[in-house]
A and B are shown apart, each in its own frame.
Chain A
């Protein structure tokens, strides 16, 4: 990929956020010697982890009829008693 294209790609897929400078300095220290190559990659990692943990468990939304059909098949195949 040409450099210009890379810049364009980056513009399209990334946004800038403001973080207090002392925090940035702390992050820089923290990621030294780790696999993280930049403050951005570390912050992205942490935020993805936080957001994923906030996702609530989803209740299955099968209709009663669908669920009964599923159970019938599972019983017929011997998966359920």
Chain B
């Protein structure tokens, strides 16, 4: 079985409600922070046991590694502006949307230069970049320390939510050793299916892992993504070779650094391979199309194998879906899978051509009155 990142699968769940929780100072946190906390507790972010302190953050920023040399590219931070919190305090973190109740042992309070954070994580200080904008709106201080999850509510799509402990048991029960993970934020078109099945040909199983959470207007709604994948998998995938479960986490749009982070999370789920496409986790024109491939060269010790795909399209001459390694024909024969075009057709209530998207997938999407976030 795949080793968890850092060697140990973290579990930070309180066995029972600790005494005196109600008397602790409480802070209501954003849903994205609540999701980080739940992910830490479930081991998705192993080996993290809490929010980064200053030294670990400094190593992540300048070396893309934790202080103990374990690869880590995206800082998991807790920002606060509460003057009466001191180092050594334990505080209760709550979140109304998720029903989160968690304890944070404040081991250190510190500041960190925001420009350095933005420049190193996002390779830009442009406030238009969503990640930079998020840094700019963070509160004054950071608190580092371990968390302990006391509880949270049941939520929509829980039937698709598996913890790393659960996926590891599942993969083992299925007899899978080589597992390739595919991350998605969109309903599948034929290009996605081609990438997944190409990778699956050399593995025992595929773990389709849509990101669920905060979305921008115009994005597909979470339920649409899940139902459309269900339709695809029901009609075109072997059940014994494919599994879908959601991952609740915010996109950071950190391009190459986030590609490594996404791979690390899937390693913790027990996957051995991770598909990295063109401009993975990119936004706008902040990153080169294959920066998210090149960064993996820096991590001989990552422990999960990236599977790189460059461009893929439908070749009218081959009459097949192809990529740049297998098709000798020129661009005049290639029709790219345009997410934009597919979206426009769906917005008009039209079914995209079958050489772009499976009919069953398109029909599932069109069953929704409002498939897009408004």
Q: How far is the CB of A27 from chain B (nearest CB, A)?
A: 16
Indicate whether B289 reaches chain A with its CB closer than 8 angstroms. Answer: no
Cβ 8 A contact of B7, one of A58, A59, A62, A80: A58
Cβ 8 A contact of A74, one of B8, B59, B166, B302: B166
Task: Indicate the member of B4, B9, B59, B166 with the most A CB atoms within 10 Å.
Answer: B166
* Interfacial chain B residues near A9, Cβ < 8 Å: 58, 62
* Interfacial chain B residues near A55, Cβ < 8 Å: 3, 7, 303
**Interface residues in A34-58 (C-beta closer than 8 Å to B):** 35, 45-46, 48-49, 51-52, 55, 57-58
Indicate whether A7 reaches chain B with its CB closer than 8 angstroms. Answer: no
> In the complex, are the beta carbons of A71 and B169 less than 8 A apart?
yes
Indicate whether A4 reaches chain B with its CB closer than 8 angstroms. Answer: no
> In the complex, are the beta carbons of B300 and A77 less than 8 A apart?
no
Q: In whole angstroms, what is the CA distance A45 to B169 when docked? A: 33
Q: Mark A65-81, 1 if CB is under 8 A from B, else 0.
A: 01100110110010110
Q: How far is the CB of B171 from chain A (nearest CB, A)?
A: 10
> In the complex, are the beta carbons of B173 and A13 less than 8 A apart?
no
Known: A77-B159, A79-B162, A80-B170. A59 touches B62 (CB 8 A): no
Q: Mark B119-139, 1 if CB is under 8 A from A, else 0.
A: 000000000000000000000
Residue pairs across A and B with CB atoms within 8 Å: the count is: 57
Indicate whether A60 reaches chain B with its CB closer than 8 angstroms. Answer: yes
* Interface residue tally for chain A (C-beta within 8 Å): 24
Q: In whole angstroms, what is the CA distance A46 to B300 when docked? A: 8
Q: Mark A3-46, 1 if CB is under 8 A from B, else 0.
A: 00000010001000000000000000000000100000000011
Task: Indicate the member of A49, A71, A74, A79 with the most B CB atoms within 10 Å.
Answer: A79
Cβ 8 A contact of B243, one of A51, A52, A79: A79
> In the complex, are the beta carbons of A49 and B300 less than 8 A apart?
yes
Q: In whole angstroms, what is the CA distance A73 to B7 when docked? A: 26
* Interfacial chain B residues near A13, Cβ < 8 Å: 59, 63
**Interface residues in B159-193 (C-beta closer than 8 Å to A):** 159, 162, 165-166, 168-170, 172-174
Q: How far is the CB of B323 from chain A (nearest CB, A)?
A: 25
Q: In whole angstroms, what is the CA distance A62 to B168 when docked? A: 11
> In the complex, are the beta carbons of A60 and B168 less than 8 A apart?
yes
Task: Indicate the member of B59, B173, B303 with the most A CB atoms within 10 Å.
Answer: B173
Indicate whether B319 reaches chain A with its CB closer than 8 angstroms. Answer: no
* Interfacial chain A residues near B166, Cβ < 8 Å: 70, 73-74
Cβ 8 A contact of B3, one of A48, A57, A66, A73: A57
Residues on A close to B: CB < 8 A? 9, 13, 35, 45-46, 48-49, 51-52, 55, 57-60, 62, 66-67, 70-71, 73-74, 77, 79-80
A-B CB contact pairs (8 Å), 15 listed? A9-B58, A13-B59, A13-B63, A46-B300, A51-B301, A52-B303, A57-B3, A59-B1, A60-B9, A62-B169, A70-B166, A74-B162, A74-B166, A74-B169, A80-B170
Known: A9-B58, A9-B62. 20 other contacts (CB 8 A): A13-B59, A13-B63, A48-B299, A48-B300, A52-B300, A52-B301, A55-B3, A57-B2, A57-B3, A58-B7, A60-B9, A60-B168, A60-B169, A60-B172, A62-B169, A74-B169, A74-B170, A79-B162, A80-B170, A80-B174
